[in-house]
Structure 1
Amino acid sequence: MTTSKLVFDPFSEEYFNSPWEIYRRMREEAPVYYNEEQDFYALSRHADVAAAFKDWETFSSAYGLDLAMVKSGEPLPMKMIILMDPPEHRQMRSLVNKVFTPRAIANLKPMVIETIDQCFRAADPGHFDVVQEFSAFFPVEVITRMLGVPEERRQQVRQWVDTSLHREPGQVEMSQEGLQAIAEAMGLYYELIQQRRAEPQDDMFTRLVQAEIQREDGQMESLDDFEIAGFATLLGGAGAETVTKLIGNAAVTFAQNPDQWQKLLDDRSKIPAAVEELLRYEAPAQYNVRRSMKEVTLHGVTIPEGKPVFLLGGSANRDPEAFTDADTFDIDRDRTEAQNLGFGYGVHSCLGAALARMESAIALERLLDFMPRYEVIWDDCRRVAMQNVAGWSHVPVRVLR
């Protein structure tokens, strides 16, 4: 029996469609994987990925979000919290934590419910695309409304995000259309920042304009327009994509595991646990890319300084050394076994995790009401081909009455 050569190509159609067998082989055969063609390394085991997420001094975020950025070897001028290491990151994070307080999240619940219910009021009760008619729509409405984006521009933000993340198979660099989309989003945010400086409102742009942070030299300073626009770009992207993909994945995963859907129908109190298991089983963000800041040896393989390193959270969350029956979707599993890396870990754990959990729980609750029995129209399902994001662009279902 001959075994094919192990290839982890994060830009291949095989990876976009189903990375799980690739991940299994990496964990078993090459826990520190090296891709000669693209000159990057990848960590796939839970213990290694979790440790690397926490070790920002060895695995830096300051060089970019993706392979193309990190390979350039230059720290990025963009002032985005996801592109910072401590102590600068700590200062910005403390500011953001003031915005994402538990009370602030709780206060958003009526607005989230209203936005979600609006989708179902317009839905065909017999035939429904869970992504196109629902999960692609409401998360960006919520996050952009929080920011202070006018209603007529909110869905445009989602289109810009999708364009910037899209990758055709084999495409490493962002497309010209993607670069243009980011430029247009930044232009909108600059415009709104200027308006809030002149006329404050009750939104996040106003709070960021009025906020002060302590710089490294101890001085208190306001954020500049570039920092606020960068933060809004990050928040708009993450806020739009994570829940969109999570709920699309939910419809597919529960269709494949109808006994788990029945558990939710029988006991709605299991919904928060179901959200956690969805995050573990098929996280919307499958990997993060870091830069090695010094030589490091793991499992007999030395990663030189200055190399891109993929931290495969999606693989780590399916590691049988961390989770019992890791490839089984089980909403009742023991959550104390290992850290769920679906929202990252360490200093860069997801800023909006509490909001995303709340949105996802409400969305599942409404799906249980709307389609207690359903079947997925598999031939019409379509997966996305995106930078580090896994999920579906189309999940049409037939509601069974």
Structure 2
Amino acid sequence: MTTASQLVFDPFSEEFFNGPWEIYRRMREEAPVYYNEEYDFYALSRHEDVAAAYKDWETFSSAYGLDLAMVKSGEPPMIKAIILMDPPEHRQMRSLINKVFTPRAIEALRPLVVETIDKYISQANPERFDVVQDFGALFPVEVITTMLGVPPEYRQKVREWTDISLHREPGQMDMSQEGLQAIGETFALYHQLIQERRAEPRDDMFSRLIAAEIEEDGVKRRLDDFEITSFATLLGGAGAETVTKLIGNAAVTFARFPDQWQKLLEDRSKIPAAVEELLRYEPPNHYNVRRSMREVTLHGVTIPEGKPVFLLGASANRDPEAFTDADTFDIDRDRTEAQNLAFGYGVHSCLGAALARMEGAIALERLLNFMPRYEVLWDECKRVAMQNVAGWERVPVRVVD
């Protein structure tokens, strides 16, 4: 419970899951370097500090995990995923993965994205349409797993396994037994597919990762099964969750700001700007956790070495010192004012950001066609209770004639 005298940021609380914007405001004003005694972590909430920390990987390391439980263990995780690496190891892996996400490669995916989005929006019922369950949760995982090379019958299973692994009940820091089992199911599927592609390569990302080489200490080598599986698990999860949350947030945010929806109805060229503003105003990813690699003092508070540090990108994106009228949703705002931190910043900026933006823009255009006038059934909306990502599990709407 947050009172006038007590400021509590608990990333595993109902208060956090239901939208921590007032907590973020107080943190920026009262405790820009916040310390949580119960969980023994620090948190940065101001744009200037979060952006600087994202860029300073030598002080705020990614190599100890991506959530609080992992970082608190004090040991680098066994999983060999790019998001869990610091340079120079990160640089070598990033240079390999970047080849998959070139602008030309992303543009080549447009027909797949359009076809997949159109498939699901064409099945929608205007009398009863859940923007998340009937649409936003379905197409992103279909796109990313098709890229990977996952057979059609397993694509939605990947989404279900990811949701289970990210779910947290209030007060639950560690992954549940069901979550661990879901990760195991994902790993088993991907390991099997890798063996099939080693025997018979195809035109998919699994085959390209198997064939790729990275250079370490002047020696070239290929990725092993564990590295490919770890990367595919990260890509499948992040590629699905981010866009799913973006679409649910879009339906809710535009319902609250109908004048902004009207702007899009009148001028579709504003859609890319609308996606950027959605990412700033209601980002799917609220935070990343780093480990402090040295003692560092900010705003009179000393963060000791070896502590988990939350980089609150969602709070930074609402910082009035960075953005004019930061709590106002305005698709016409001047985006050059400050860096949008929705996809991170620095060496770990999101690899799939361009693909997510493309998916978001196409989906938004289709929603404008499908429901130019709509009402959200607020009593039936339900938020997710997850770590790292925030958004809606259910957003039922009624299309208005």
**TM-score (ref. length: structure 2):** 0.99
1:242 paired residue number: 242
Amino acid at match of 1:356: A
* Alpha-carbon offset, residue 267 of structure 1: 0.3
Aligned residues: 399
* Alpha-carbon offset, residue 6 of structure 1: 0.3
* 1:261-340 pair list within 5 angstroms: 261-340=261-340
1:13 paired residue number: 14
Deviations 1:318-352 (A, max 9, x none): 00000000000000000000000000000000010
* Alpha-carbon offset, residue 121 of structure 1: 1.7
2:49 paired residue number: 48
Amino acid at match of 1:56: W
1:103 paired residue number: 104
Amino acid at match of 1:193: I
* Structure 1 residue 183 corresponds to structure 2 residue 197: no
2:136 paired residue number: 135
Q: Distance in 2 between matches of 1:269 and 1:120?
A: 21
Amino acid at match of 1:100: F
Instruction: Kindly report structure 1 stretches of 4+ aligned residues shifted beyond 2 Å.
Output: none
Amino acid at match of 1:224: D
2:364 paired residue number: 364
* Alpha-carbon offset, residue 3 of structure 1: 1.9
Instruction: Name the SS for the 2:241 alignment partner.
Output: helix
Q: Distance in 2 between matches of 1:111 and 1:240?
A: 15
Amino acid at match of 1:180: Q
Instruction: Name the SS for the 1:324 alignment partner.
Output: coil
Q: Distance in 2 between matches of 1:83 and 1:232?
A: 14
Q: Distance in 2 between matches of 1:134 and 1:290?
A: 33
Amino acid at match of 2:199: A
* Alpha-carbon offset, residue 76 of structure 1: 1.4
More divergent stretch after superposition (261-270 vs 99-108): 99-108
2:389 paired residue number: 389
RMSD: 0.7
* Alpha-carbon offset, residue 122 of structure 1: 1.2
Amino acid at match of 2:9: F
Q: Distance in 2 between matches of 1:18 and 1:198?
A: 48
Any unmatched runs of 5+ in structure 2? none
Q: Distance in 1 between matches of 2:392 and 2:38?
A: 28
Q: Distance in 2 between matches of 1:102 and 1:388?
A: 27
Q: Distance in 2 between matches of 1:267 and 1:331?
A: 12
Instruction: Name the SS for the 2:109 alignment partner.
Output: helix
Deviations 1:133-179 (A, max 9, x none): 00000000000000000000000000000000000000000101101
1:195 paired residue number: 196
* Structure 1 residue 149 corresponds to structure 2 residue 146: no
Amino acid at match of 1:113: V
Instruction: Name the SS for the 2:355 alignment partner.
Output: helix
2:173 paired residue number: 172
Q: Distance in 2 between matches of 1:323 and 1:389?
A: 22
Amino acid at match of 1:118: K
* Alpha-carbon offset, residue 94 of structure 1: 0.4
Q: Distance in 2 between matches of 1:179 and 1:55?
A: 31
Amino acid at match of 1:174: M
2:36 paired residue number: 35
Q: Distance in 2 between matches of 1:103 and 1:339?
A: 24
Amino acid at match of 1:235: L
Q: Distance in 2 between matches of 1:96 and 1:160?
A: 24
Amino acid at match of 1:65: L
Amino acid at match of 1:374: Y
* Alpha-carbon offset, residue 125 of structure 1: 2.4
Amino acid at match of 1:37: E
Q: Distance in 1 between matches of 2:205 and 2:231?
A: 11
Instruction: Name the SS for the 1:351 alignment partner.
Output: coil
* Alpha-carbon offset, residue 261 of structure 1: 0.2
**TM-score (ref. length: structure 1):** 0.99
Amino-acid identity (%): 81
1:225 paired residue number: 225
Q: Distance in 1 between matches of 2:251 and 2:73?
A: 39
Deviations 1:256-301 (A, max 9, x none): 0000000000000000000000000010000000000000000000
1:75 paired residue number: 76
* Alpha-carbon offset, residue 4 of structure 1: 3.0
2:353 paired residue number: 353
1:206 paired residue number: 207
* Alpha-carbon offset, residue 218 of structure 1: 1.2
* Structure 1 residue 91 corresponds to structure 2 residue 92: yes
Q: Distance in 2 between matches of 1:4 and 1:207?
A: 56
Deviations 1:242-269 (A, max 9, x none): 0000000000000000000000000000
Q: Distance in 1 between matches of 2:46 and 2:137?
A: 31
Q: Distance in 2 between matches of 1:311 and 1:7?
A: 16
Q: Distance in 2 between matches of 1:328 and 1:183?
A: 42
* Alpha-carbon offset, residue 127 of structure 1: 2.0
* Alpha-carbon offset, residue 104 of structure 1: 1.0
Q: Distance in 1 between matches of 2:161 and 2:132?
A: 17
Deviations 1:10-32 (A, max 9, x none): 10001110100000000000000
